[in-house]
Amino acid sequence: MNSVILRMSAVPLAVTVIGLTTLQAAHANERPNIVWFVVDDMSADFSCYGETTIRTPHVDQISENGLRFTRAYATSPVCSTFRSAMITGMYQTSIGAHHHRSGRGEHRIRLPDGVQAVPALFQEAGYYTCTGSGLTDLDYRSQPFNSRTRRRLGKTDYNFDWDELIYDSHDWSGRGKEQPFFMQVQLHGGKLRGASSAHYEAFDNQVRQIFGSVTDPESVRLPPYYPRDDVLLKDWSTYLDSVRVTDRHVGLVINRLRQEGLLANTLVIFFTDHGISHARGKQFLYDEGTHIPVVVSGPGIVGGTTRTDLIEHIDIAALSLAAAGIEIPRAMQGRNILAPDYEPKTAVFAARDRCGEAADRIRSVRTDRYLYIRNFYPERPHLMPSSYKDGKLIVQRLRELHAVAGLSDLSEALFFAPTRPPEELYAYGSDRWQTVNLAADPEYVAVLRQHRERLERWIRETGDIGPETPEVYVLETEDQMKSTRNRAARETYRKNAELYKRWAREGK
């Protein structure tokens, strides 16, 4: 495996940064507790980020009491690669953990020398480490515990060999007297809504029990490339209800911390693992897939402040270690964005690679004004065959509308063009949803070249490992097929994998 490359030095950024602060740990018994809220499949659709269809009072309260980042991005838009990066503070492409759900069968992935999982570093410093729901009566779905979930560790999903002993428990209640704790509250988030009508109905019942009513589909505002179709509107309104349930769960955990007298000395960091699971969200590098909320409150944080500079989710590892007075490993690429001498980043990066059987390679760089995307396999369509994506009712509906010419020209171009552009360039501010590709515009030749070079330098300097070998692809896909119980799903996966192997042989 390639050796880990140290992070690039930062260049000062001319941007207004409000509320830059630092956290300093004093004596051992004064060290803060660290609580991460890690939420699946959810964009920054909270009131404090401008969402108006629903209200999210509990995340809003964390923001009001603390610091909100408006331009935080995931370095990967899919669960396992995001979490592998999150828990190491490293780009997933630097540690070989960049292919979704990899390294779990015959093919193994081991962390490079000098890279450790963050909970292990907390343990070494005397912290009690745990991952779970954060509550004593409700699980990660905000449903009552049962015999299977009561003592279950929260979601990990790491793409490398790791020892479960890095977590002491599923809950902080078992810690020693006055022992500080590092807690990951893992919540199901956008996954609560499921992918079918039956799932929607079951979740609607849960929402009605909690809030009395569900969100009206007609009240939903969709990105311009999704049709205002009943199926898509219902999916999005159900997704917004998953945001409401998540927000309520957050409030319950905060209240527990308060009742136990822990909140005042607890650093709370709320974030999601990537954007909404949709046709242009999860798994893709547009804002719908990678822009995430990051809200921080606790000791040393000035309330009601906002940061507008670019950050990456791997920075959460570094700032958390620093808050606990733990030395940040030299190899860690995430940075302590709360340090007094921190210089804001001029660019942030993201990568998408194989997701299930769907082999792809996409890289991006974001600067203050532009998003540049490089598609390494432009001959493959955006909605390429995927047993995961194609199992969703919303994607099935888009395909149905495409078959009867029921989509707008914009939707057709973005979702169903047979190929993708090798390069994409989008302007922030004037193009919120990244629909106008400026890569071929003569006026942006210099901007395109600058961003292309910036991305190539990052790929080189961070040791981006790149695509899997054909042999490893076979090992990984066969391992995933073995773990798929549904025969029809397994057969779809197998046929898709054969297609991707043929495309690779053909150089497509």
In what helix (H) or strand (E) does residue 376 lie, and over which residues does it extend? Answer: none
Decide if pLDDT at 324 tops 80.
yes
Handedness of CA 72, 69, 276, 403 (dihedral sign): negative
Instruction: Supply the mean pLDDT for the chain.
Output: 94
CB-based contact 24:325 (threshold 8 Å): yes
Query: And the tokens for 417?
Result: 């063009």
Residue 431 identity: D
> Quick count: other Cβ atoms within 10 Å of Cβ 501?
16
Ordered by start, the domain boundaries in the chain are 32-346, 362-506
Query: And the tokens for 131?
Result: 């991952």
Query: Residue 29's pLDDT band (boundaries 50, 70, 90)?
Result: low
The average pLDDT across 165-172 equals 98
Mark out the alpha helices in 89-162 (DSSP H runs). Answer: 118-124
CB-based contact 364:478 (threshold 8 Å): no
Q: Which of 22-36, 130-144, 169-183 has the lowest mean pLDDT?
A: 22-36
pLDDT at 501: 97
The average pLDDT across 266-278 equals 98
CB-based contact 187:38 (threshold 8 Å): yes
List pLDDT tens digits, range 117-155.
999 999 999 999 999 999 999 999 999 998 888 888 999
Q: Name the DSSP class of 17.
A: B
* Percent of the chain residues past pLDDT 70, beyond the cut: 94
Q: β-strands 305-312, 67-73: how paired?
A: parallel
Q: Which CATH superfamily is domain 32-346 in?
A: Alkaline Phosphatase, subunit A (3.40.720.10)
Q: How far apart are CA 78 and CA 190, in angstroms?
A: 13
Those residues whose C-beta lies under 8 Å from the C-beta of residue 113, and which sit 6 or more positions away, are 3, 4
CB-based contact 71:306 (threshold 8 Å): no
* Percent of the chain residues past pLDDT 90, beyond the cut: 91
Q: How far apart are CA 424 and CA 371, in angstroms?
A: 8
pLDDT at 485: 85
pLDDT at 385: 97
Q: What is the largest CA-CA distance in the chain?
A: 67
pLDDT at 23: 44
The average pLDDT across 455-468 equals 98
Mark out the alpha helices in 260-344 (DSSP H runs). Answer: 287-290, 315-323
Q: Which of 5-19, 53-67, 274-288, 330-344 has the lowest mean pLDDT?
A: 5-19
Beta bridge partners of 187: 39
The average pLDDT across 212-221 equals 98
Decide if pLDDT at 14 tops 60.
no
Q: Helix-strand-coil percent breakdown of the chain, rounded to 5?
A: 35, 15, 50
Angle (nearest 5°) at CA 379 between 373 and 383: 75
Query: And the tokens for 24?
Result: 């300093």
pLDDT at 247: 98
pLDDT at 4: 32
Q: How far apart are CA 292 and CA 255, in angstroms?
A: 24
Nearest to 388 by CA among 288, 281, 489, 501: 489
Beta bridge partners of 269: 36, 296
Those residues whose C-beta lies under 8 Å from the C-beta of residue 247, and which sit 6 or more positions away, are 46, 56, 57, 58, 59
Decide if pLDDT at 169 tops 80.
yes
Decide if pLDDT at 21 tops 50.
no
Could you give the 3-state DSSP secondary structure of residue 236? helix
List pLDDT tens digits, range 218-250.
999 999 999 999 999 999 999 999 999 999 999
pLDDT at 194: 95
pLDDT at 494: 96
Query: And the tokens for 14?
Result: 């001319």
Decide if pLDDT at 9 tops 50.
no
The average pLDDT across 269-290 equals 98
Supply φ then ψ for residue 270, to 5 degrees. -105, 130
pLDDT at 236: 98
Beta strand extents in 266-401 (DSSP E only): 266-272, 291-297, 305-312, 348-352, 362-366, 370-375
CB-based contact 309:335 (threshold 8 Å): no
Decide if pLDDT at 253 tops 90.
yes
Q: How far apart are CA 486 and CA 285, in angstroms?
A: 30
